[in-house]
Structure formats: structure tokens, C-alpha cells
Amino acid sequence: MKNLLFFTLILFGILSSCNKKESCKDPNALNSEITGGDNSICRYTNVIFYAGSNRVGGNGDILDKIEVYRIFIDQEELVGTISDLKEFTDAPIGCANSLNSIRYELNTSTDIRFTTKYYYKNATAENGGTHIFKAASDQECIVQNLTL
């Protein structure tokens, strides 16, 4: 009888642990469930930076590479580099990884600032503008073309 009770408790423990629903207490997370959950498994909006071209705007100079940096109060941190630039590249579909793209998860509810640096084949360089993004519970991906 003790073995049957022990076996039943073990089986119940295994089955109840298999059906855990992914949830998160952060209202800005994609899988937010305010009523409870485990914050360690929150999923957030992703920004997909991509190069739709090997030129920036109306500039006739051909790009060699684009660097994307996250801006902090007193420093910048390199997020990624796009270096295989084509004359024309389609935008990524949804959140899929694609050629000439950088993915970054917005894992906070505050604004996150990014800047770009453009390096040209003629050995010149220029700083790009600032892009500001924020995680949103209803938006899985934000696609940002860096060459418009």
C-alpha cells in the first residue's frame, strides 16, 4: 500500500510539472500574465535592424559596413555589424533572421536608444541618427531599415 501511495505521488508530481504555462509578470512582455508567473521566462519585442541597400538615402557612395550601437548614459555598446551589403535587400519577414540583419531583444520597459555608424568603400565614415524603441506586449517585432 505504501508503494502504491508513493508511486501515485511521484506520478502526480511529474504530470503536474509538465503542464506549466509560460507566463510572465511584466506587462511589457509578449507573454505577460499579470496574475502570476515566473519572470525568468519573459519574452520581449525584438528589433530587427537591416540594410535594404548598400547606399544611405540619396547618397551615391557605396557602403562597406554599418555598425549598430546601443546608447547608454555615458557609453555606447556595439550590438552588431552588417557587412555583406547588397544593392537591394528585401525586408525580413516577421521575426525571421535574414541576411544583412541584426536582432536585439528589448528586455526592459524603458526606452532603449540605438545609433548607427556608416562606413563607406571610399574610406569615409559618418554617424547616423538615433533610433528609440520600447518593448510592447502587442508587438513581437519592429523592423528598422538602416538605409532609407
126/147 Cα distance (integer angstroms): 13
Assess whether 111 and 79 both reside in one domain: yes
Whether 49 and 106 map to the same domain: the answer is yes
Domain residues for the domain of 49 are 44-145
13 and 62 within one domain: no
3-class state of residue 81 by DSSP:
strand
pTM above 0.85, yes or no: no
**What pLDDT, on the 0 to 100 scale, is given for residue 123?**
94
Same domain membership, residue 139 and residue 110: yes
Q: Are residues 38 and 50 in the same domain?
A: no
Strands in 125-133's sheet, in edge-to-edge order, are 76-82, 63-71, 112-120, 125-133
For 101, other C-beta atoms within 10 Å of its C-beta total: 19
Residues 95 and 83 both lie in one domain:
yes
CA gap 136, 92 in Å, rounded: 20
Domain total for the chain? Answer: 2
Domain C-terminal end among 11, 28, 43:
43
Spatial distance between the Cα atoms of 107 and 46, rounded to a whole number of angstroms: 9
Q: In terms of domains, do 69 and 8 share one? A: no
Q: Are residues 99 and 133 in the same domain?
A: yes
Locate 131 and state its grid cell: 533610433
Are 32 and 101 part of one and the same domain? no
- Tens digit of pLDDT at every position of the chain (148 positions): 555 545 555 545 555 555 455 567 788 888 877 545 555 678 889 999 999 999 997 778 999 999 999 999 889 999 999 998 999 988 888 887 777 799 999 987 789 999 999 999 999 999 999 999 988 888 889 999 999 8
Same domain as 35, residue 99: no
CATH of the domain at 125: 2.60.40
34 DSSP assignment: T
Helices of type H across the chain: 2-18
46-87, pLDDT tens digit by residue? 999 999 999 997 778 999 999 999 999 889 999 999 998 999
The CA distance from 39 to 33, in Å, is 10
Assess whether 65 and 119 both reside in one domain: yes
